[in-house]
Amino acid sequence: MIVSPFRMPGSLPAVCEAAWPKDVGIIALEVYFPSQYVEQAELEEFDGVSAGKYTVGLGQARMGFCSDREDISSLCLTVVQRLMERSGLSYDSVGRLEVGTETIIDKSKSSKTVLMQLFQESGNTDVEGVDTTNACYGGTAALFNAVNWVESSSWDGRYALVVAGDIAVYASGSARPTGGAGAVAMLVGPNAPLAFERGLRGTHMQHAYDFYKPDMVSEYPVVDGKLSIQCYLSALDRCYSVYRNKIHGQWQRGQHSQLQTPSKGLDKRCSLEDFGFMVFHSPYCKLVQKSLARLMLNDFLCHPSPDTESGPFSGLDAFRDVKIEDTYFDRDVEKAFLKASSEAFENKTKASLLISNQNGNMYTPSVYGCLASVLAQHTPQQLAGQRIGVFSYGSGFAATLYSIKVTPDATPGSALDKLVSSLCDLQARLDSRKKVSPHVFAQNMKLREETHYLANYTPQGPVEDLFPGTWYLTRVDEKHRRQYSRRSMSAERPLEAGLITSCMEPEHIPSPLKKMPRIPCTTAGPEGLVISNGDH
């Protein structure tokens, strides 16, 4: 008997799986967004567009933005230090640091190397990883790199740290209200409360000029809006198809636990019913709502005999013979499936849009801000045991749909309980931001435009407007070297580590392997501590 060396997608010999660390995924997650925002309703009036164009048409309420005091490195410095302080994690327990971003301030030097200055006091320079760039997909590629490292022969037992960050700005016009800014840091390791489901990634990559940044001296992209939407939706269709084929193959081979094995036998088809939550990359909230509707359209067209008399497919038989590739801009199809999927959207996706609705598009961190929004608005008991579908898209274009398995352990003090508790202040942080007028927002955009890539420059934005503990740009010298300082945690006392307000006390997280040292948090220096992006 000849044994074929080829296997079905998603299959691996049991001996390989047995050698892998268990439940590799996200252990801790931190979000940073700017301290100031503009109301989209006021921006509509300021821009002279019809009321509801941004708030209803795009589904956006507020948009966060950065002054000239913040750049991609300062955003990443802030979110990394915040995660380390709130987790009580020592810098020498990190063995890989990946940054996903499309906000490029240097064509050679990575933002990751700037972050290494946070590791200096620990003496840890043995940290792999650099920046990954492909529009909004870079954060997901960085996360996959981290997960793959932990599951590889290169893993030395330490954690991986992934940072996704961007400043999304557009020239004045119809695209400007789809901007935003922020960063997300994720701690990756084994025995995670959010574990990646192995073998369940559906990826689609293709060439397109839907959104790109060919002008190296400008922050603004070139955008083909209609093509961008078509690319996004077509990638979603293809990724979902590949994902379903892979999970169906796993079900046939009985690789899932009894809880996850479909109860209706091997003829069970993967559908939206198999996801407790679905989160998407969110350029704007309305597109996400349409994307969930599109997954239902896929379920409907792939079903051999859908019930159009009752249930979610009720009244949809008129669309039975449509071709999926002809429906990207079909208003009748869109309207019908938005209505059909309304309950699923309320239950599975709406909660994920908190940060997107209130802060805007963060580019690479967008989909992970959506994940954080789900965690922040549900209890550990509501999340336990659920499958979370994640769709990540980056223009140009690259996309993946994958799934995360939430641990069933929701007991007090569990890893899931700690993760959820760490995000319980998310709404309060959004509410604590400073509202500015559209005129002030436009002035800030003009200042960024005029000073982008400028050497021998001192930023003008007021430091006191930043959140306590925020890293900010102090100087760009004549050689384009950047220097940063950190705002104190309070106006009355010097900067210290571990003083960021949290819903729970900071707790030291040991390294995954006992052989790694367990060193408590160190105290940071006084305000005015300066770090730079170094020499070339």
| Alpha helix stretches (DSSP H) within 88-224 | 111-115, 138-150
Query: Which 3-state string (H, E, C) describes 234-298?
Result: HHHHHHHHHHHHHHHHHHHCCCCCCCCCCCCCCCCCCCHHHCCEEEECCCCHHHHHHHHHHHHHH
Ordered by start, the domain boundaries in the chain are 25-255+270-487
480 in catalytic set: no
- Kindly report the CA angle at 279 between 172 and 381, in degrees rounded to 5? 135
Q: Which residues of 40-72 are buried (b: 16+ CB within 10 A; e: fewer)?
A: bbbbbeebeeeeebbbeebbbbbbbbbbbbbbb
Residue 111 carries which side chain, given as an amino acid letter? S
pLDDT of residue 489: 83
pLDDT of residue 86: 93
pLDDT of residue 256: 45
DSSP letter, residue 62: E
Which of 76, 136, 231, 270 is an active site residue? 136
Give 10-residue mean pLDDT values along the chain (536 residues): 38 53 96 97 96 96 96 98 94 97 94 97 96 96 98 95 97 93 98 96 96 91 93 97 94 62 62 97 97 97 90 92 94 96 97 97 97 98 98 96 98 96 96 97 94 93 95 96 92 37 42 41 40 47
pLDDT of residue 511: 55
Percent helix / strand / coil, the chain, rounded to 5: 35, 20, 45
pLDDT of residue 467: 97
Calculate the alpha carbon distances from 190 to 28, 157, 169, 201, 505 in Å.
Answer: 12, 9, 36, 19, 23
Give the number of other CB atoms < 10 A from CB of residue 329.
Answer: 11
Which of 102, 151, 219, 496 is an active site residue? 102
Q: Which H or E element spans position 305?
A: none
* Residues, the chain: 536
| Alpha helix stretches (DSSP H) within 132-224 | 138-150
DSSP letter, residue 493: B
Distance between first and last Cα of the chain: 60
76 in catalytic set: no
Binding residues for CoA: 228, 286, 290
270 in catalytic set: no
Taking the CA of residue 413 as centre, how many other CA atoms within 13 Å lie in the half-sphere pointing to its CB? 0
| Alpha helix stretches (DSSP H) within 423-492 | 426-431, 438-451
Task: Report the distance separating Cα 12 and Cα 254, nearest Å.
Answer: 12
The CATH classification number of 25-255+270-487 equals: 3.40.47.10
Return the SS3 of 378: coil
pTM assigned to the model: 0.88
Which of 248, 281, 370, 496 is an active site residue? 281
For 467: left if phi > 0, alpha if psi spans -120 to 50, otherwise beta; the answer is beta
Q: For tokens 């088809």, what's the residue?
A: 269
Q: Which H or E element spans position 435?
A: strand 434-436
